[in-house]
Amino acid sequence: MSLLTLKGVSKVFGGLRAVNDVDLSVEPGEIVGLIGPNGAGKTTLVNVVSGVFKPTAGTIEFDGKRIDGLKPYQISRLGVARTYQVVQPFPEMTVLENVMAPATFAAGARSVSEAQDQAMEAIDFLGLGSEANKLASELTLAGRKRLELAKSLAMKPKVLLLDEVNAGLNPAEIDTALELIRAIARRGVTIILIEHLMKVVMTLCNRIVVLHHGAKIAEGEPRAITKDERVIQAYLGNRYAEANAGKASNG
């Protein structure tokens, strides 16, 4: 049975159909890339899955339970966590305090000490142990991105929705982030990844889903997606397709 299933999911804002009749099934253990041009509906779709928006039409099932219409905190407690493209930690709280909050309110820690233990486990896992007592405002952008991941991990998710976690990072920081995402996946967390960097998507993902104007226009394994004419026209462009073809022929 699929862990997450969307059937005919749409979201309309006034006259704008931001998500249009999307079907999607995600299996346990997958890393699924969600790509498409700006305005394609990627973040809106994640917002619908995580309960920020209620779908205008369609159904969403997670782990055998209907979740469309539930509130975000209810969905997070079932095991769906997400990060945000623009990271906004509580700046005047420490790294540890920031991570204790989701451990308490989403993961259901029964005491302050249990929340602290859960938070420190996530912090250490993300390599932030030496900065646990720093204010979040003192972290670099890369550090704040790690903090965002630590907050999501402290929720003990079964599915993690990552919204452009590599935005703004330099190449070395991106390589580190890739290793962290792989390590999270090895813990048994299923991942849906919104990403514009094709290097990241091609490296990490088992499967790629492409949105354009709110609709799913393609889905498949990464190499096939880069050769799909609809994807080339809507998103990748001929230059990327030609370069990719050249690498394939040279390989």
CB hemisphere CA count around 241 (13 angstroms): 15
* Secondary structure (3-state) at 52: coil
What does the pLDDT look like over 56-98, one tens digit per residue?
A: 999 999 999 999 989 999 999 999 999 988 888 999 999 999 9
pLDDT value for 240 = 73
What does the pLDDT look like over 142-159, one tens digit per residue?
A: 999 999 999 999 999 999
Distance CA 65, CA 54 (A): 16
Q: What is the mean pLDDT of residues 7-36?
A: 96
Residue 25 CB partners (closer than 8 Å, separation 6+): 2, 4, 5, 6
Q: Which CATH class is domain 4-250?
A: alpha beta
Domain boundaries, the chain: 4-250
Where do we find the tokens 């486990």? 121
Distance CA 165, CA 227 (A): 26
Distance CA 33, CA 205 (A): 6
CA distances 196 to 37, 73, 114, 118, 239, Å, are 8, 28, 37, 32, 16
Q: What is the pTM of this model?
A: 0.90
Distance CA 45, CA 249 (A): 36
Strand-pair category, 4-13 with 16-26: antiparallel
